């Protein structure tokens, strides 16, 4: 179905970028690369992108890019309307593709969540809870998504490459290799071997070009599970390094805590 949709895209498609519950980091991936954004504006007609200027929430567009997770009934109605108004829809970033950090509340009981809200928003608890859903969910749980781009945040190169591929009427490439592949390509020593640093690179999809291992820090799992991730082996390695079951669970239940692979691996601990 996506290929038929791509064939119908005009030479200069209209585009909208919408924000739901998120930190805006994925939108900033667009804005931070100013020259590429200027070039992109010549290739597409940007109808709605509040962070960058144009605002038209209800615009009918060829391509809609969504940042953020669904947390309220208002979000549900908004995303359904955006889906109706768009031809091709992309979920951008960990929040949109797996619920992101907000989805940590899916793993706790209501009493604990109430405490979180009161601790963080002591003066505005009622406003925060107004229209709230019981869980934080990714976009695909409410509407059809044509393509997902993972990351926390996504990289500028990823996003501009994806839009350019759509302009050629081909589906953007999916990243399936683990972060370890980039470490090998860049000549980065394995941080687990060289520095005894816990790293989820072996089970995490690439996309960041091994950003954290390049500065001797372990991967946090920002881009979700790699296609052939072996979580049992990863867990065994972390235990050998001295981490407790609770510590291992927290590593898996982090940025992509609801993503297949990370959720199951964390639930086992």
Q: Say if residue 206 is in the same domain as residue 151.
A: no
Q: Report how far residue 123's alpha carbon sits from residue 138's, in angstroms, rounded to the nearest whole number.
A: 28
Compute the distance between CA of residue 54 and CA of residue 41 in angstroms, rounded to an integer: 12
Angle formed at CA 243 by CA 137 and CA 110, multiple of 5 degrees:
35
Do 48 and 73 lie in one domain? The reply is yes
Residue 71 lies in domain: 2-167
- Cα 98 to Cα 152, 156, 171: the distances in Å are 11, 20, 21
Residue 154 and residue 33 in one domain: yes
Asked whether residue 173 is domain-assigned, the answer is no
**Residue 87: pLDDT over 60:** yes
Same-domain check for residues 40 and 108: yes
Percentage of the chain exceeding pLDDT 90:
70
Number of Cα atoms under 13 Å in the Cβ half of residue 146? 22
pTM of this prediction?
0.91
| Rounded-to-integer distance, Cα 14 and Cα 11, Å | 10
pLDDT digits (tens, 9 = 90+) for 241-257: 999 999 999 999 999 99
Calculate ∠ Cα 152-155-267, nearest 5°: 25
pLDDT at 40: 82
Q: Which of 82-96, 129-143, 193-207 has the lowest mean pLDDT?
A: 129-143
196 contacts 218 by C-beta, under 8 angstroms: no
Q: Are residues 7 and 121 in the same domain?
A: yes
Residues 76 and 192 in one domain: no
d(CA 66, CA 81): 13
pLDDT at 37 exceeding the cut of 80: no
The residue among 141 and 41 whose pLDDT is bigger is 141
Beta-bridge partners for 123: none
Please check whether residues 151 and 241 belong to one and the same domain.
Answer: no
CATH of the domain at 13: 3.40.50.700
**114: which residues sit within 8 A by CB, 6+ positions away?**
none
Residue partners of 231: CB distance under 8 A and separation at least 6: 203, 225, 252, 261, 262, 264, 265
CB 149 within 8 A of CB 173: no
* Cβ-proximal residues to 92 (8 Å cutoff; 6+ apart), any chain: 26, 65, 66, 67, 149, 154, 159
Indicate the DSSP class of residue 189: P
Per-residue pLDDT, 2: 61
How many Å apart are CA 135 and CA 143, to the nearest integer? 16
Backbone angles phi and psi of 251, in degrees to 5: -70, -40
Same domain, 23 and 141: yes
Q: Are 191 and 216 in contact (CB under 8 A)?
A: yes
Any idea which residue has 């393509």 for tokens? 147
Name the residue among 201, 189, 188, 205 with its Cα closest to residue 260.
Answer: 205
Position of tokens 């350019």? 164
- Asked if the bond preceding 153 is cis, omega within 30° of 0, the reply is yes
Structure tokens at 214: 């390049």
Task: Identify the pLDDT of residue 3.
Answer: 65
Same domain, 145 and 187: no
What integer pLDDT is reported at residue 119 of this predicted model?
Answer: 87
Number of domains the chain contains: 2
pLDDT digits (tens, 9 = 90+) for 145-192: 999 999 999 988 888 889 889 999 988 888 889 999 999 999 999 999
Contact status, residue 15 vs residue 46, Cβ threshold 8 Å: yes
Predicted local confidence at residue 1, as pLDDT: 47
Instruction: Check if the beta carbon of residue 106 is closer than 8 Å to that of residue 99.
Output: yes
């Amino acid at each position: 179905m996506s290929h038929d949709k791509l064939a119908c895209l005009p030479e200069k498609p209209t585009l909208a970028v919408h924000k739901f519950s998120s930190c805006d980091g994925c939108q900033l991936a667009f804005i931070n690369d100013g020259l590429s954004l200027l070039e992109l504006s010549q290739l597409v007609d940007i109808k709605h992108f509040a962070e960058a200027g144009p605002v038209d929430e209800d615009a009918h567009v060829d391509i809609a890019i969504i940042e953020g997770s669904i947390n309220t009934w208002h979000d549900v109605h908004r995303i359904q309307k955006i889906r109706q108004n768009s031809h091709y829809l992309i979920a951008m970033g960990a929040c949109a593709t797996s619920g992101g950090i907000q989805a940590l509340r899916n793993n706790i009981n209501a009493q604990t969540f109430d405490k979180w809200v009161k601790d963080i928003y002591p003066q505005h608890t009622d406003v925060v809870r107004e229209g709230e859903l019981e869980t934080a969910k990714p976009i695909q749980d409410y509407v059809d998504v044509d393509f997902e781009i993972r990351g926390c945040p996504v990289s500028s190169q990823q996003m501009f490459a994806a839009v350019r591929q759509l302009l050629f009427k081909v589906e953007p490439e999916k990243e399936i290799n683990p972060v370890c592949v980039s470490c090998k390509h860049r000549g980065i020593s394995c941080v687990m071997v060289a520095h005894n640093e816990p790293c989820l690179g072996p089970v995490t999809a690439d996309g960041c070009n091994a950003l954290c291992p390049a500065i001797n820090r372990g991967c946090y799992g920002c881009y979700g599970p790699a296609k052939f991730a072996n979580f049992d082996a990863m867990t065994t390695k972390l235990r050998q390094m001295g981490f407790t079951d609770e510590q291992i669970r927290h590593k898996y239940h982090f940025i992509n805590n609801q993503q297949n692979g990370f959720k199951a691996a964390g639930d086992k601990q």
